[in-house]
Amino acid sequence: MNTEDIGGIKGLLTDMDGVWFVGERALPGAIEALARLRAQSIPVRFVTNTTTKTRAEMARKMLAMGFDVDESEFITTPAAAATLLRAGGIERVKLVISHAIRGDFTGLSTKPPYQAVVIGDIGRAWSYDLMSELFREIMQGAEIVALHKGRYWQVEDGLALDIGAFVAGLEYATGKTAAVIGKPSPAMFYAALSDLGLEAEDVVMIGDDVYNDVAGAQSAGVRGILVKSGKYRADLVEESGVEPDMVVESIGELAAWV
């Protein structure tokens, strides 16, 4: 993939944390990069595995940093998960998620017997007792539904363990395979493409996660660009076996080519 290919794109899918900001701090040149994309009338969708905030909260966070965003531009896993659960005939769920996003699961019963255990981000609330409780529910017939299966993410002082470790532990102990809704599932990228009204070949995905962002996008036919900010680590990329369509220093570099 070369810069001429980038110049012909009609839309951009992108991760949030690690691409535009880290923590509460906008990355250098990121605000200007988004303004440049807006000036070129390039639509953007923020495809995020974040499961602790609503779309409105995500928009407010970026607005506070100086980004020009609207909550309609955020593609989130909780809403997609609730839709898929209902479509699959699942009505009773045990929600292991942030209280902030429980509203996305309105209409589903949270009383046993559970048909599914829905796992999202709960911070430091993970414990042996909780894992044992979930293990028992799954062994009694509940399915595992993971809002995502991230390995790690970038925080202010380095990399932090993500929920994929807990999901994998439950898979190992129960012998069941989790249904993963968020990135790298192609379903998330198809949802974003549908929202944009564009075909896969007209869009690129940019992210700092070689698995979730790049490989996930490629599985949906979308070109994946890896950015050297956020959680990017050269040795981890090399070990991944994933070949990004392009590697750039920052979102600012990509925006300058569009």
Tens-place pLDDT, residues 87-109: 789 999 999 999 989 988 988 99
Amino acid 7: pLDDT = 64
Nearest to 18 by CA among 234, 252, 230: 230
Q: Which residues contact 87 (CB under 8 A, 6 or more apart)?
A: none
Is pLDDT of 50 > 70? yes
Amino acid 4: pLDDT = 59
Q: What is the pLDDT of residues 54-85, one digit of tens each?
A: 889 999 999 999 999 999 999 888 988 887 88
Amino acid 248: pLDDT = 93
Q: Which CATH architecture has domain 3-49+184-257?
A: 3-Layer(aba) Sandwich (3.40)
CA pair distance 95, 117, nearest whole angstrom: 6
Q: What rounded mean pLDDT belongs to the chain? A: 91
- Main-chain dihedrals φ then ψ at residue 172, nearest 5 degrees: -60, -45
Q: Which residues contact 44 (CB under 8 A, 6 or more apart)?
A: 11, 12, 13, 14, 34, 37, 73
What are the sequence ranges of the domains in the chain?
Answer: 3-49+184-257, 80-180
* pTM reported for the whole predicted model: 0.77
- In CATH terms, the superfamily for domain 80-180 is HAD superfamily/HAD-like (3.40.50.1000)
Amino acid 154: pLDDT = 75
